[in-house]
Chain A
Amino acid sequence: MSTAQFKEFRDQDYSRLRLSLLRTKGGQPQREFLESVRETPSFLSYMRYLPVVGSQSAPIHQERLVESEYKDPPADTETRLFYSWLDLTPRIACRTTFWAHLTCEHIEAGVLDSSFLAANGGSGSGGLERIDRALTEQNESQAKSIDSCVRTVLRRLGGIPDRGNRSVYVNCPFARAWWRERIVEQVSNGDEKVANSVRDLIRISQTYWENFVDRLVSRNSTFGSLQVRNAFILSLAKQVAESGNAELRNSKVMLRACRMLSAKQGSLELSVLERRELEELISTIVESVQLHS
């Protein structure tokens, strides 16, 4: 068991900062924060007053990332990030305080600029452009734009702890990379071919990943246990890779399979089944979704 105490922002102080920034849309605290995010040195001095706890630093990625790579790292970058952070445990990897601190360390090391944090997803506007537009807007929607920009920054930094803690898995690029690759590792169990098909599956789109995470972290999860979750992902990945079935790449079809699995889990405790029996049952579900989609 790892006993490492990784460095993170002290929860009390970071939570208070986050709450104070979200309290008033377009207010002075949000404006000052965005102005600091615009320039890396000012952002670092803004964040520097936050106390840090823990003693061990997670490794810093050595190559500088451009904004698009940071927002949506390619699969090989995500894999490299995960392997450099192998010592992390789920206990620390689900904490926004940890990822926010690690992201700030990457900004300090020059791996990324603080303005990247404000960038929209996909091919949306760049961070600097969004900040400037929000701060200079002269209409009634300015407060909303500033608020939206601040929320993007907080989400990218480490996530905003929301219902079920979903944000840390889906909004913070570094955390998302770690969780995705951890799932790849757990499901593939060292089989490189399986690993590639699982990686392709969970990286189909941000929506696909978000829908999947919703099912993963809710209290009444679709997946009664890790065995059920892993068998489900494996079955989906194999179907997509081997049959080339395009329908299963649609997140709505994946959600339909989740609902069917959930209904089955509602009537039977699937985690007590033998592995082969579980795999057969899940394959039947995934195949039937294909037939009826």
Chain B
Amino acid sequence: MEEGNLSYPNGRYIVDFEPGEDRRSFVLMHQVEGAPLINRLIEDQHASYVCVVSSPVSGYRETHIAGQSQQEVQWELDDLGEPPLFTPMIVCTRTCQLTLECERDGIHKIWDDLVVDFKAGSRLAVANVIQLRSSILQMLSMRKRDDLKEGTFFVDFETEPFLFVVNLSSGLHKFLRFAREERSRPHIMIHIVSACLALLQREFPSAEGEEGWKNDRSLNGLHNELNYHGIPGWGEDGFSPERAATILYPHKVPVDDQIENHG
């Protein structure tokens, strides 16, 4: 589909998704809007909803095919070396020949009355790749450490896959896990993000080479996210972890009249 392109039908392909609580499944809701030709192909069972689940580091790639727009995909955790990538699409699964009608099929009039071959395997619509770990908050692994003095934490890392390991005293761990509505929680999280960025600056200054951060997909994604927000990379001059953290997640302060009341 491509709005305004004579060669493709108009319309939009939207995919909503919901990760399963068991970390082994995922529900996708495929929606096609304003593309009657594709709906017709699906209804006639010439096309199906497809989701490719992959974990490149362990060489895993599996194609899931569904006839219904709500699709549940499942996998075995033992097959994956990292959080999986999902590529949703609508694919022609049976070769067919259709006579097109511009009114009925939502296509340009140059296609009217033409007989067109749809080959099995043709991708009719493709959504963006979904990667569960795309922001720094999704790269945090919060771990309780009973040996830490109450109210303290420190950040470490793992590399397979890359994770920030946030070691927390037991009270702090409990607070961050359960007191999600507390006003001080976001400020503590910003402190943690700042510490994570400082760790990157300290431990992963180099982009290239076998030890360079460019080798890691999550760190590449994070670097792109920083650049998107106009923040220099952690190996560059001018990088400030606390500034980067507060640009990504600004501290929310009380509005003026609340401050005056406090004053």
Residues on A facing B (Cβ under 8 Å): 1-2, 11-12, 15-16, 18-19, 22-23, 89-97, 151, 160-165, 167, 179, 216-219, 221, 223-227, 229, 268-274, 277
Nearest chain B residue, comparing its CB with the CB of A268: B121
Given known A-B contacts A19-B203, A165-B57, A226 and B159 have beta carbons under 8 A apart: no
Tell me, yes or no, whether B65 is within 8 Å of chain A by CB: yes
The answer to whether B65 and A272 touch across the interface, beta carbons within 8 angstroms, is yes
> In the assembly, what is the distance between CA of A167 and CA of B209, in Å?
13
The answer to whether A216 and B215 touch across the interface, beta carbons within 8 angstroms, is no
> In the assembly, what is the distance between CA of A187 and CA of B209, in Å?
34
A226 to chain B, nearest CB (A): 6
Contact among A19, A90, A160, A272 with B121 in the assembled complex (CB-CB below 8 Å): A272
| Complex interface: chain B residues within 8 A of A229 (CB) | 59, 61
Contact among A2, A164, A227, A273 with B57 in the assembled complex (CB-CB below 8 Å): A164
Interface residue count on the B side (C-beta < 8 Å): 43
Given known A-B contacts A22-B210, A269-B121, A91 and B77 have beta carbons under 8 A apart: yes
A95 to chain B, nearest CB (A): 5
The answer to whether A22 and B211 touch across the interface, beta carbons within 8 angstroms, is yes
Contact among B62, B79, B158 with A90 in the assembled complex (CB-CB below 8 Å): B79
Tell me, yes or no, whether B165 is within 8 Å of chain A by CB: yes
> In the assembly, what is the distance between CA of A179 and CA of B81, in Å?
14
| Complex interface: chain B residues within 8 A of A151 (CB) | 210
A229 to chain B, nearest CB (A): 8
| Complex interface: chain B residues within 8 A of A272 (CB) | 48, 50, 63, 65, 91, 93, 120-121
| Complex interface: chain B residues within 8 A of A97 (CB) | 160
| Complex interface: chain A residues within 8 A of B29 (CB) | none
Nearest chain A residue, comparing its CB with the CB of B220: A163
The answer to whether A94 and B158 touch across the interface, beta carbons within 8 angstroms, is no
| Residues 91-124 of B at the A interface (beta carbon under 8 Å) | 91, 93, 119-123
Nearest chain B residue, comparing its CB with the CB of A217: B56
Nearest chain B residue, comparing its CB with the CB of A91: B78
For B194-236 the 0/1 string (1 means CB < 8 A from A) is 0000000001000001110011110000000000000000000
The answer to whether A271 and B52 touch across the interface, beta carbons within 8 angstroms, is yes
The answer to whether A224 and B59 touch across the interface, beta carbons within 8 angstroms, is no
> In the assembly, what is the distance between CA of A221 and CA of B52, in Å?
12
Nearest chain B residue, comparing its CB with the CB of A10: B158
The answer to whether B63 and A90 touch across the interface, beta carbons within 8 angstroms, is no
| Complex interface: chain A residues within 8 A of B78 (CB) | 1-2, 89-92
Nearest chain A residue, comparing its CB with the CB of B59: A216
The answer to whether B156 and A12 touch across the interface, beta carbons within 8 angstroms, is yes
The answer to whether B81 and A162 touch across the interface, beta carbons within 8 angstroms, is no
A82 to chain B, nearest CB (A): 15
Tell me, yes or no, whether B14 is within 8 Å of chain A by CB: no
The answer to whether A269 and B203 touch across the interface, beta carbons within 8 angstroms, is no
